[in-house]
């Protein structure tokens, strides 16, 4: 029997790539429910699959911020047992904290954190009653370590990590495996879609010159990281495929070792100051602004 997989955020990026890969599986091992806010954007996925919808794929409308849309999607899938749920929908927000509007922060949490909570809530009862299932959640490197000028994004992904780690403990007796996938930079629409103030724009008015300078340097750092070290979607898919296929997937897995040395520093020096210093040096080069060293 086919493994049924429902994925959120399939109109672009990792969700689209994963849906296409599973739906095109040569052994036809999967039935994929590829969900997205706007079904018109399903064209891209269909194009990827040669212009027609194979019987291994079904497109469903799903906005993770809209409980009615979630209930309708869950209703459609009901009857078909759902083996794997992939909570992948997510958005970004970058910039000096002083520039993050209340509305932007609320929207970010509504998608990244509450969207994942609502999606899991919608499909968990059926998995529990079957005592089987997998939940895979797109976290981020920013879900396990703080990144400059991504404070609110990291807060949302740290929240997702805490949510899932807590839930995994309860799900153990139900034979439901939960896996957090930490991607580093990946070439998707994420960068284009993320909210980010223009360093020369009006949002910067009133912000101190030093923070403005750091922000400009950070944007330069991001550009070079994306140019030199970002992965293609195809490179991160194996991590998701392992979480779907392996008999006992781990709670956390990373798609890249890019920030692994800094991550280890965070673990080996739990008071956090060594991490803060090293990350500052990594991004801003040198610690002239450190000023906190005895």
Instruction: Give the catalytic positions in this structure.
Output: 153
Contact assessment for residue 282 and residue 218, using Cβ atoms and an 8 Å cutoff: no
Q: Establish if 133 lies at the interface with ligand NAD (CB under 6 A).
A: no
Q: How many helices (H) and strands (E) does the chain have?
A: 11, 7
Q: Establish if 37 lies at the interface with ligand NAD (CB under 6 A).
A: yes
Q: For 51, which DSSP code?
A: S
Q: Which is nearer to ligand NAD, 108 or 204 (CB)?
A: 108
d(CA 16, CA 242) in angstroms, rounded, equals 17
Q: Establish if 34 lies at the interface with ligand NAD (CB under 6 A).
A: no
Q: For 65, which DSSP code?
A: T
Q: What are phi and psi of 4, to 5 degrees?
A: -95, 135
Q: Which is nearer to ligand NAD, 6 or 186 (CB)?
A: 186
d(CA 39, CA 190) in angstroms, rounded, equals 19
- Select the span of 83-91, 94-102, 122-130, 239-247 touching ligand NAD (CB under 6 A): 83-91
- Select the span of 10-18, 52-60, 196-204, 285-293 touching ligand NAD (CB under 6 A): 10-18
Binding flags for ligand NAD, 233-272, as an x/- string (CB under 6 A): ----------------------------------------
**Length of the chain counted residue by residue:** 294
Q: Which is nearer to ligand NAD, 80 or 231 (CB)?
A: 231
Closest contact distance (angstroms) between CB of 172 and ligand NAD is 25
Closest contact distance (angstroms) between CB of 53 and ligand NAD is 18
Q: Which of 99, 140, 150, 256 binds ligand NAD (CB under 6 A)?
A: 140
Q: Which of 96, 133, 185, 249 binds ligand NAD (CB under 6 A)?
A: 185
Helices (H), the chain: 13-23, 42-48, 67-77, 102-109, 115-130, 151-171, 190-193, 209-229, 233-245, 260-268, 273-284
Q: Which is nearer to ligand NAD, 8 or 195 (CB)?
A: 8
- Select the span of 8-16, 202-210, 211-219, 278-286 touching ligand NAD (CB under 6 A): 8-16
Q: Which residues contact 47 (CB under 8 A, 6 or more apart)?
A: none
The distance of Cα 219 from the centroid of its chain, to the nearest Å, equals 21
Q: Establish if 13 lies at the interface with ligand NAD (CB under 6 A).
A: yes
Helix axes 151-171, 102-109, angle to 10 degrees: 30
Binding flags for ligand NAD, 43-72, as an x/- string (CB under 6 A): -------------------xxxx-------
Contact assessment for residue 111 and residue 64, using Cβ atoms and an 8 Å cutoff: yes
d(CA 32, CA 59) in angstroms, rounded, equals 8
Residues that bind ligand NAD (CB under 6 A): 8-9, 11-15, 37, 62-65, 88-91, 111, 115, 138, 140, 183, 185-186, 188-190, 193
């Amino acid at each position: 029997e086919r493994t049924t997989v429902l994925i959120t955020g399939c109109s672009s990026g990792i969700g689209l790539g994963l849906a296409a890969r599973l739906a095109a599986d040569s052994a036809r091992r999967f039935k994929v429910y590829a969900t997205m806010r706007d079904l018109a954007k399903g064209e891209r996925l269909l194009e990827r699959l040669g212009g027609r919808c194979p019987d291994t794929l079904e497109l469903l409308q799903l906005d993770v911020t809209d409980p009615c849309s979630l209930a309708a999607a869950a209703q459609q899938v009901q009857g078909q047992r759902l083996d794997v749920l992939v909570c992948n929908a997510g958005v970004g927000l970058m910039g000096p904290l002083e520039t993050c509007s209340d509305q932007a922060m609320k929207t970010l949490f509504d998608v990244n954190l509450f969207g994942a909570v609502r999606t899991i809530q919608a499909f968990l009862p059926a998995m529990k009653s079957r005592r089987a299932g997998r939940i895979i959640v797109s976290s981020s490197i920013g879900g396990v370590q703080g990144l400059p000028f991504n404070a609110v994004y990291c807060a949302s992904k740290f929240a997702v990590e805490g949510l899932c780690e807590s839930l995994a403990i309860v799900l153990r007796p139900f034979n439901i495996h939960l896996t957090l996938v930490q991607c580093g930079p990946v070439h998707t629409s994420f960068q284009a879609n993320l909210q980010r103030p223009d360093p020369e724009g009006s949002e910067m008015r009133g912000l101190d010159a030093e923070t403005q300078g750091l922000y400009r340097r950070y944007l330069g750092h991001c550009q070079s990281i994306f140019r030199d070290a970002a992965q293609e979607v195809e490179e991160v898919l194996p991590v998701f495929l392992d979480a779907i296929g392996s008999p006992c997937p781990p709670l956390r897995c990373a798609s890249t070792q890019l920030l692994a040395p800094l991550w280890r520093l965070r673990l080996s020096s739990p008071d956090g100051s060594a991490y803060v210093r090293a990350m500052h040096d990594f991004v801003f080069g040198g610690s002239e602004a450190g000023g906190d060293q005895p």
